[in-house]
Structure 1
Amino acid sequence: MRRLTVVFAGLLITGLLCSSESYASQTASEHDAQALASSPQWLTTKVYIEGEPDTDVKASYPGVVGISMWDPQRNRYEFFYTDTGRSKHADGGGGYFLVTGDKKTHILVPDVGPTRTIVRRLEKLDGSEFTYSREVPRDMVSTNPPVRIYVVHAPYTGPIKTVMSN
């Protein structure tokens, strides 16, 4: 027992005398979930396949295109159609989200629908751009091989005003 007490005392003294500087890598400050609040609405401006950033394929991936709203205070999101502003919530386009502690992963948990979670890699997030990537079947056809798509958003300044359902 005495030996254990001496070991713990030694560890305590060592901890107090050593620097408390962290050697962990710092995350990029540009990935800030609060940046989602920098605009009340975000618009999908481009969708491209990995390795083909100059080719916009939005027409092949209509399910990821739209206007989105993010509430970092409540961790709520909702998606809307760009032509009407109608909510996609009833079709799984609304729910909770979180950004992981390393600020590299963006996870959606829809309120309704067959999909329970959607995991996306956070590529860029600041006040002027929100870009994520994820693997999906090519052209969103379930029998096609998977590809990584990049979905780029910018703050929306158009005429459609949306309001979150929840």
Structure 2
Amino acid sequence: MQKSILTCLLLAGALLPFAAVAQQAPASTDVRELASSARWLTTRVYIEGAAETDVKANYPGVVGISTWDPERNRYEFFHVDTGHSKYNNGGGGYFFVTGDHKQHVLVPDIGTTKTIVRRMETLSKNEFTYSREVPRDMVEGNPPVRIYVVHAPYTGTVETKSAL
């Protein structure tokens, strides 16, 4: 009897780690949330460690209206004031989210940049926030900083015309 109890305890102890691994992973970001709005507007940009200070004016290259098509994995960026596409300057192409839902990778169709890797911070029906490391104020040679770019669904009147 004692031998069978000991065997059961040893067996249970050996299998316990596998039971812990088999538990459901927490819910993660669903890239289809990008389709919850036809267009997204950059609402705020801040530097890591200084979330209370909006620095959009220092980073105009990341500010705009954007569209995301998760069915085709296509994106396009537009100027906020005119609605004109930024496609010809690398503002359009393919995107994907890594399997662990931590990275958002852009692959522009044209332009000098080949890929841009961004860290996914928040993705829901009401907010899309990513971060990435860039030279301070986007000036080559400046020390790197991590910027956070916050977007909300765009409800304004500026019309956007796709170049794709």
Within the candidate set 60, 67, 77, 1:62 is matched to 60
1:15 maps to what in 2?
Answer: none
Structure 2 residue ranges without an equivalent (≥5): 1-14
Distance in 2 (CA, whole Å) between partners of 1:24 and 1:50 is 34
Structure 1 residue ranges without an equivalent (≥5): 1-17
Q: How many residues align?
A: 148
1:23 maps to what in 2?
Answer: 22
| Match status 1:82 vs 2:80 | yes
| Match status 1:147 vs 2:131 | no
Q: How does 1:89-100 map to 2 (within 5 A)?
A: 89-100=87-98
Moved over 4 A (4+): none
Root mean square deviation, CA, Å: 1.8
TM-score (norm 1): 0.84
Q: How does 1:92-111 map to 2 (within 5 A)?
A: 92-111=90-109
Given the superposition, is the C-alpha separation of residues 25 and 105 from structure 1 closer, same or farther in structure 2, using an over 3 Å criterion? farther
Distance in 2 (CA, whole Å) between partners of 1:36 and 1:106 is 12
**Which secondary structure state, in structure 2, belongs to the residue aligned with residue 98 of structure 1?**
strand
**Which secondary structure state, in structure 2, belongs to the residue aligned with residue 59 of structure 1?**
helix
1:38 maps to what in 2?
Answer: 36
Q: Which amino acid aligns with 2:47?
A: I
Within the candidate set 47, 50, 64, 2:48 is matched to 50
Identity percentage of aligned residues? 67
TM-score (norm 2): 0.85
Give 1:161 deviation, angstroms.
2.3
**Which secondary structure state, in structure 2, belongs to the residue aligned with residue 37 of structure 1?**
helix
Give 1:93 deviation, angstroms.
0.3
Given the superposition, is the C-alpha separation of residues 24 and 118 from structure 1 closer, same or farther in structure 2, using an over 3 Å criterion? farther
Q: How does 1:4-15 map to 2 (within 5 A)?
A: none
Whether the 8 Å contact between 1:27 and 1:102 is mirrored in structure 2 is no
Distance in 2 (CA, whole Å) between partners of 1:23 and 1:145 is 44
